Amino acid sequence: MPTAAPVTTQSGGGAVTGMPPDLSSMTPVEAADRLFNRVMTAVAAGDSTEAQQFMPMAIAAYDRARPLNTDGLFHLSMLQRTAMQLEAALVTAREILEANSDHLLGLSAAAKAAVELGRSDIAAVYYEHVLDVYESQIEQDIPEYVDHAPITDNLRSEAEAFLSGR
């Protein structure tokens, strides 16, 4: 009987090589986060087969882990958008904004989903709000802003570029 090949996954602080983790030994959120990382790593590496294989599991894991905090909702919205479940991605992003209407990642997720849905007027509202609150939000000690720094660091420029191109 063949054994599972070692895998390299990224989790919280760097690469880990070894056997896949036993998701059943984790909390629902930990399992969902692991699956999110696996899918997004596969997407970034251009491995559509692995991304498609684990995408439904990752989305289902976040649904099972509800209620989610804003970071979990952001992850779910990203997964939904990547899976082309654009209406669901927008609904999930709006859940973040119900809790905090100024949340940068919620605004980013909502704007991107709206763009992909072809609703540029709605996207413009979200991007304008990004510009209104960016400085005050980025100064706050919000862990998911640090965890998703590539997104938050470029969000103002993204919003400005979108709005200037209208």
The residue to which tokens 């997964």 are assigned: 79
Q: What is the mean pLDDT of each run of 10 residues along the chain (166 residues)?
A: 35 46 87 97 97 97 97 98 98 98 98 98 98 97 95 98 95
pLDDT value of residue 108: 98
pLDDT value of residue 24: 80
Name the residue among 7, 63, 8 with its Cα closest to residue 32. 63
pLDDT value of residue 16: 42
pLDDT value of residue 19: 65
Note the pTM of the prediction, 2 decimals: 0.86
The residue to which tokens 């997104």 are assigned: 151
pLDDT value of residue 81: 98
d(CA 73, CA 94): 9
Both structure tokens of 117 = 């849905």
d(CA 165, CA 11): 37
Element holding 159 (H helix, E strand): helix 149-164
